[in-house]
Amino acid sequence: MGEPPPYPQIEPTTFDLIAVGTGLAECIVAAAASASGKTVLHLDTNPFYGSHYSSLSVPELTSFLISNSTASSPPSSTSTTTDIPDYSIVNLTTQPVYSDVEISCFYPELLEENLRKFNLDLCGPRVLFCADKSIDLMLKSGASNYVEFKSIDASFVGDENGKLWNVPDSRAAIFKDKSLTLMEKNQLMRFFKLVQGHLDATVAAGSSGNDGIGNGNDEEEGKTKISDEDLERPFVEYLSKMRLPPKIRSIILYAIAMADYDQDDMGVCQNLLKTKDGIDRLALYQSSVGRFTNASGALIYPIYGQGELPQAFSRRSAVKGCIHVLRMPVTALLMEKDSGSYKGVRLASGQDIFSQKLVLDPSFTLASPSASPSDLLHESFNFLSTRDVKGKVARGICITRNSLKPDTSNLLVVYPPRSLYPEQITSIRALQISGNLAVCPLGMFVLYLSALCDDAIQGKRLLNAAMNALLTFPDSVNSESSSTVQSENTEEKPSVIWSGLYIQEMSTGQFDSINFAPMPDGNLNYNDILDAALKLFQEMYPNEEKFPETTPPENSEDDIELTLET
């Protein structure tokens, strides 16, 4: 009774970098620092890797969401020491990053014996494009040796009638698509050809060391390269200029370019996509199709869930000497009294560990500093106790007994803005993953949903609208929005066994001697998270190369290093 937990003593006690939290960004930074020869200590309060990017069983996910939806303080230090002559002790606390957590179990008898056979993604829905920069980084860093992927079988666009239409994302898919008229097929083919011509012309101009002006081929390049004026205009305007019909524009904008907000409504669109950015996204999608011979489309998913990605980078950093300690809370920071600068951390064991740099999980903040702190310490406190919150994302997880499509196991569904109800101003994405990806027992399916939102009311309405369009809830659950969509499909919709809905804050990283990692964003892939992590590393170590041992893959022969199951 009353005995402190058996926390291990850590040796050595001084490191170049301490990372607290094993989210994806923290793991990438730790792996990059370890690869550059830095000494790294990686800590996590949790008994598992991944933090807000982890894949958890049903009980673990429920517990994590609830515990991180209320403010709390880490366990008190077991040490009786409250101060160090040269340092001030600034206690750490956590602030809620989730809210409005709603857990429902409709068939307990079906779930009871399988509760711990699930690997549910906290930050879903997520996929990786085959040509993603995250894939390139995994190949370059060697993290690809520790994770396997499987292809997403198909992508669909949902409409106001409850139907799902195939996304024609390649030449073969366009010709096979029976939902497109001959005219629509020709329009889409011409547009894809135009985009490819622009990309080829851009590459040719870059390789020749000029911008394509004054080299004697202006007329030829003018036929293929999109003008600078068009590149700067809104992408939706350019698609209209190309005389693409609304149906095709919607597929390109929301199911291929993955735009979030209604691009036709400037009043509500918080992120208007320019043509140059839209073309880049189309290029990513097109280059992803066919990059790996055994991938059926543009998208892949890690076997055992997205939580495998932080673990892959953690294993890579361990090979380079990084020390990992789970179940180890950090209770306070050590700040120099005279300068207010960071010096180290105090662990729940009472041990003090010192480092030059620190990366913190985004849920951390600081309690009030000790009495009569210096002005410099106050400045550090003010910086460290604020977070740059960039909005909210509503997330949902549903466990079902049947697939949304009888002949397709792993699939993506996108509901463009206004496709479910008039006030829907953002896209809603739904990703179904089956038991053949080891995220749930065989015969069951996991459906992840997400949508950007301003508040919980808006977020829950978005999720409920998509869930009622796709799924069946017993006893008229979510009846408030069940009338939103009347499906024309005669097929019976899958029944929901269990569901979890929650609102997650999106915060970005902050840079100083103490750095905060970003929360998961609302995107389908990890590119922005990856950029934030590499920027964080570069801010800390401006003279160090990122993963210097190997070079990025330059041809398809290198791509075999990525394990992709058929």
| Residue, of 90 and 220, whose pLDDT is higher | 90
pLDDT band at 269 (very low <50, low <70, confident <90, very high): confident
Q: Kindly list the domain boundaries of the chain, sorted by start residue.
A: 14-95+304-368+376-388+507-540, 170-199+225-288
Distance CA 387, CA 502 (A): 20
pLDDT in tens, 505-562: 998 766 566 899 999 999 999 999 999 999 999 999 999 999 986 544 444 444 446 7
**Six token digits for residue 32:** 């990059």
pLDDT digits (tens, 9 = 90+) for 156-200: 999 877 789 999 877 778 888 888 889 888 888 899 999 989 988
pLDDT of residue 86: 79
- Residues of the chain with pLDDT > 70, as a percent, come to 83
Cα(159)–Cα(32) distance, rounded to whole angstroms? Answer: 44
The overall average pLDDT reported for the chain is 86
Instruction: Tell me, yes or no, if the two domains 14-95+304-368+376-388+507-540 and 170-199+225-288 fold the same way.
Output: no
Q: Mean pLDDT throughout 293-305?
A: 91
Tell if the pTM clears 0.85, that is, is over it.
yes
Average pLDDT over residues 326-351: 92
What does the pLDDT read at residue 5?
A: 60
For the domain made up of 14-95+304-368+376-388+507-540, give the CATH fold.
FAD/NAD(P)-binding domain (3.50.50)
pLDDT above 70: residue 486 = no
pLDDT of 219 reads: 44
Report how far Cα 195 is from the mean position of its chain's Cα atoms: 27
Whether the per-residue pLDDT at 12 is higher than 50: the answer is yes
Smallest Cα–Cα separation from 465: which of 448, 476, 445, 479? Answer: 479
pLDDT at site 382: 58
**Predicted pLDDT at 451:** 98
Reported CATH class of domain 170-199+225-288: mainly alpha
Q: How confident is the model at residue 339 (pLDDT cuts 50, 70, 90)?
A: confident
Average pLDDT rounded to a whole number, residues 71-82: 54
Contact at 8 Å (CB) between 441 and 435?
A: yes
What gap in Å lies between CA 157 and CA 261, rounded to an integer? Answer: 15
Question: Can you tell me the mean pLDDT for 289-295?
Answer: 84
Please classify residue 508 by burial: count the beta carbons closer than 10 Å to its beta carbon, then call 0-12 exposed, 13-18 middle and 19+ buried.
middle
Mean pLDDT of 126-134: 95
526 Cβ partners below 8 Å, 6+ apart?
24, 126, 128, 132, 134, 309
Q: Residues 348, 354, 356, 362: what is their CA dihedral angle, to the nearest 10 degrees?
A: 0
Lowest mean pLDDT among 238-247, 441-450, 483-492: 483-492
Q: For residue 419, is pLDDT > 70? A: yes
